[in-house]
Amino acid sequence: MVTVDIYDKEMAAEWNGFVARSKNGTFLFDRNFMDYHAERFSDASLVFRGKRGRLCGLLPANFHKASKTVFSHGGLTYGGLVLDHRAVQTSVNEMIALAADFYSRTLGAQSLVYKSTPYIYHSIPAEEDLYALYRMGASLTSRAVSSALVPSAGLRFRKDRRAGVARALRAGLSVEEVADCCSPLFLRFHNILTESLMKRHNVTPVHSFDEMKLLTGRFPENIRLFVVKNGDDIVSGGWVFVTSCAVHTQYLVNTDEGRRMGAEDLLLDYLISEKYASARYFDFGISTENNGMYLNENLISMKEGFGARSVCYDTYTLALPRHSAV
């Protein structure tokens, strides 16, 4: 028998402990990460308990009242149920059904938008939720394509990527980790990132400088910054999010000079072949827009040049049973 209740901030330590020992949770589900932008979302996270009140599942979520929609999670790259190794198919079926009924009954929600966690972030198989959603009639409403590789597979980089690495080495470029979030390099890189995104896409980074500084301070082992320097000048760099199963490139950027010199190729060669050579997966992130209907072919080709191949980031929508909100 599984029971469900709404998350309360007094449960934060218990929540975080469960995420840390789960089979498919990452530090993105830690409340110290989730709640850094809590004011932007109406939290609707759930906790599930089994025998003797033991925590057996979590659902990070937020509620958008105007559309009567619950999202898991609107502020994260992926979401969905967080489970431990004891979770089995029948109990997860029950959790999804309980969540659907709870949201309809207590919030008057009409739909659940569920961003499943890709398998490359699972320590052991953890797709019970996908079957449970299918049984309840959920539909696949978005499929983004990421690109990931297995560093230990040793796939050879494509010729153009190898040429970029060689060009950067001839130019004397070097890779440096910026471990101190109070370092001037930290601000300099964020400024370069912001300028590049505005120039090329007319957008700003998802995370502000203050937010990245805050999160890096909270998760110094998980959020790492690497820059490529030409003398004292930063010509490329990137933030990576490090989990127990996969390393994810959150931001990558080249200056015009760095692009000419192969700086990003050098950075990625270092991250894949040296720094994170023992990682299970190296995930470049998505190359799609418009719910997956537009594929940026140049972007995905760059990633494939390092040996990465496609991994789907799927989103499902479940119509909820009709109840009157309490």
Look at residue 39 in the predicted model and tell me its pLDDT: 86
Confidence check: pLDDT of 324 > 70: no
Which residues touch 134 (CB under 8 Å, ≥6 apart)? none
281 close to 150: Cβ distance less than 8 angstroms: yes
Look at residue 205 in the predicted model and tell me its pLDDT: 86
Domain-embedded: residue 288:
no
**Average pLDDT of the residues in 116-136:** 98
Which residues touch 133 (CB under 8 Å, ≥6 apart)? 96, 114, 316, 318
Residue 11 phi, psi (nearest 5)? -90, 5
Look at residue 206 in the predicted model and tell me its pLDDT: 84
Domain-embedded: residue 182:
yes
Confidence check: pLDDT of 326 > 60: no
CATH of residue 11: 3.40.630.30
189 conformational bin, left if phi > 0, alpha if psi -120 to 50, beta if neither: alpha
Domain-embedded: residue 305:
no
Q: How far apart are the first and last CA of the chain?
A: 24
Domain-embedded: residue 296:
no
- Are 135 and 179 within one domain? no
Rounded Cα distance between 90 and 96, Å, is 10
The reported pTM is 0.94
- Are 75 and 184 within one domain? no
What secondary structure letter does DSSP report for 30?
S
Instruction: Domain of residue 262: give its range.
Output: 151-279
- Tracing tokens 């060689």 back to the chain, one arrives at 166
pLDDT one-digit tens code per residue, 187-196: 999 999 999 8
pLDDT one-digit tens code per residue, 284-299: 999 999 999 999 999 9
- What is the rounded average pLDDT for all residues in the chain? 95
Residue 180 phi, psi (nearest 5)? -100, 115
50 close to 2: Cβ distance less than 8 angstroms: yes
- Are 19 and 109 within one domain? yes
pLDDT one-digit tens code per residue, 149-168: 999 998 899 999 999 999 99
Look at residue 235 in the predicted model and tell me its pLDDT: 97
Rounded Cα distance between 241 and 237, Å, is 14
Look at residue 325 in the predicted model and tell me its pLDDT: 53
- Are 270 and 138 within one domain? no
